[in-house]
């Protein structure tokens, strides 16, 4: 049985206190009145609301499903999946098999196009659900649903007239959106692709194995050699994409550190990851209040929209290293409560994931 590092236990916190913090972070999302942003809808559905934008996004819906399968909450998982299939999934058209990335809390679509970070989280959450609870009748035949999502991600250009796949076939790198010719470093989840290489349709398993390898190489290029910072959008060579206003270390980019941490927890540390994290933790140390930063480290406006997210993801990257500074980041995270107020959605989603992975409880199921 695989073991997972428990950084909180290593620091001397009790398992009872660790479990309590995880449960509190989950409650802040799903059950705590006045703070939660999960809402049931009718008898069988539910959604996570982006509290800053008052919509439901595939990002949050798929995150919520991953949270629920990790916490063994099939009831909530199925409600989120039901909402996603009923209101977000495309049954036809050029986006057939994909999910509309943003809908109103009434289910009306704000956009038709998909965002690939949602599809990859949906797929792995569904595989985990199948492994944990078994498959049921459609749409709760979780493993079939996951394989169908991944089939479209790789083959949309072949399956649907006018369709675009979510991965660039020539280099195995995920795109920002299917029509784009650039990427988003925070979308790169090589630890997910290792599992897709085991569970996707058999003919696509070699593709996913190569995608895992390509994404690890890509992350080493996309993170600045001195600061460890990544841009929100980046070209396939890792350099920031500068024409769309997302070339800096801002909201999306915070997730790169968290993703590196979880890859290390699941598949082992690497020297490349340790270098990135050591540089990142050194650069961000003492920077509060956090700003937006160019990847080479110049502070610019606006101030960080999600400062709690910076703290927790940078601490989660400690799964890639073990230094006095990395432990200081962990103590800072432990002393930081979940965010309250209008912008709590994004921060508290990442807060929960990072708390869970640092406890060794974000597991391959």
Domain at 283, CATH number: 1.50.10.10
- Examine residue 208 and say whether the peptide bond preceding it is cis (omega within 30 degrees of 0): no
On average, the pLDDT of the chain sits at 98
Q: Is there a domain that residue 125 lies in?
A: no
Residue 70 scores a pLDDT above 90: yes
Catalytic residue among 50, 59, 263, 347: 59
DSSP 296-359: TS-EEEEEPS-HHHHHHHHHHGGGG---HHHHHHHHHHHTPPPP-STTHHHHHHHHHHHHHHHT
Residues 112 and 134: their CA atoms lie apart, in Å, by 31
Residues 291 and 299: their CA atoms lie apart, in Å, by 6
Q: Is there a domain that residue 88 lies in?
A: no
**Structure tokens that stand for 56 in this block:** 């439901």
Tell me whether residue 252 is one of the annotated catalytic residues.
yes
pLDDT grade for 291, boundaries at 50, 70 and 90: very high
What is the residue range of 324's domain?
A: 1-36+223-365
Residues 186 and 234: their CA atoms lie apart, in Å, by 10
- ∠ CA 202-208-212, nearest 5°, is 155
- ∠ CA 214-251-324, nearest 5°, is 75
Q: Is there a domain that residue 116 lies in?
A: no
Q: Is there a domain that residue 355 lies in?
A: yes
- Please identify which residue in the block is written with the tokens 């459609």: 138
Domain count, the chain: 1
Residue 79 scores a pLDDT above 90: yes
Residues 73 and 79: their CA atoms lie apart, in Å, by 10
pTM: 0.97
Q: With the CA atoms of 128, 359, 45 and 339 taken in that order, what torsion angle do they form, in degrees rounded to the nearest 10?
A: -150
Would you state the pLDDT for residue 286? 96
pLDDT grade for 1, boundaries at 50, 70 and 90: confident
- Please identify which residue in the block is written with the tokens 């994909």: 98
Which tens digits make up the pLDDT trace of 89-132?
999 999 999 999 999 999 999 999 999 999 999 999 999 999 99
Q: Is there a domain that residue 246 lies in?
A: yes
- Please identify which residue in the block is written with the tokens 């290593």: 10
Give me the mean pLDDT over the 160-185 stretch: 97
Q: Is there a domain that residue 97 lies in?
A: no
Which tens digits make up the pLDDT trace of 241-278?
999 999 999 999 999 999 999 999 999 999 999 999 99
Question: Beta partners for 99?
Answer: 89
Which tens digits make up the pLDDT trace of 41-68?
999 999 999 999 999 999 999 999 999 9
Residue count of the chain, please give it.
Answer: 365
Catalytic residue among 50, 55, 204, 252: 252
Non-local (6+) Cβ contacts of 238 within 8 A are 185, 218, 220, 221, 222, 223
Q: Is there a domain that residue 173 lies in?
A: no
Which tens digits make up the pLDDT trace of 142-164?
999 999 999 999 999 999 999 99
Q: Is there a domain that residue 294 lies in?
A: yes
- Percent of the chain's residues with pLDDT above 90: 99
Would you state the pLDDT for residue 15? 98
Tell me whether residue 59 is one of the annotated catalytic residues.
yes
């Amino acid at each position: 049985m695989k073991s997972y590092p428990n950084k909180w236990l290593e620091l001397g916190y009790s398992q009872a206190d660790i479990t309590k913090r995880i449960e509190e972070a989950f409650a802040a999302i799903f059950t705590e009145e006045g703070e939660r942003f999960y809402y049931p809808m009718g008898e069988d559905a539910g959604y996570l609301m982006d509290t800053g934008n008052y919509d439901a996004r595939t990002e949050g819906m798929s995150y919520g499903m991953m949270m629920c399968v990790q916490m063994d909450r099939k009831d909530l998982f199925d409600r989120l999946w039901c909402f996603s299939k009923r209101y977000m999934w495309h049954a036809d058209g050029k986006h057939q098999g994909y999910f509309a990335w943003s809908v109103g809390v009434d289910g009306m679509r704000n956009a038709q196009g998909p965002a690939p970070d949602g599809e990859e989280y949906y797929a792995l959450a569904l595989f985990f659900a199948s492994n944990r609870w078994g498959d049921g009748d459609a749409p709760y035949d979780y493993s079939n649903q996951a394989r169908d999502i991944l089939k479209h991600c790789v083959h949309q250009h072949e399956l649907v007239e006018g369709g675009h796949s979510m991965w660039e076939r020539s280099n195995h790198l995920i795109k920002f959106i299917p029509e784009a010719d650039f990427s988003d470093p925070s979308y790169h989840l090589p630890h997910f692709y290792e599992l897709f290489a085991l569970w996707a349709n058999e003919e696509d398993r070699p593709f996913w194995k190569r995608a895992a390898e390509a994404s690890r190489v890509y992350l080493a290029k996309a993170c600045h050699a001195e600061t460890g910072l990544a841009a929100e959008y980046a070209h396939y060579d890792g350099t920031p994409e500068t024409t769309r206003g997302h070339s800096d270390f801002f909201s999306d980019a915070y997730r790169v550190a968290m993703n590196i941490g979880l890859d290390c927890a699941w598949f082992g540390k690497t020297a490349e990851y340790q270098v990135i994290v050591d540089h990142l933790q050194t650069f961000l140390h003492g920077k509060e209040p956090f700003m937006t930063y160019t990847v080479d480290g110049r502070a610019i406006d606006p101030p960080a929209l999600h400062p709690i997210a910076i703290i927790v993801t940078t601490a989660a990257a400690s799964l890639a290293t073990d230094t006095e500074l990395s432990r200081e980041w962990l103590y800072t995270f432990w002393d930081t409560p979940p965010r309250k107020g209008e912008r709590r959605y994004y921060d508290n989603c990442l807060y929960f994931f990072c708390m869970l992975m640092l406890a060794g409880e974000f597991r391959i199921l």
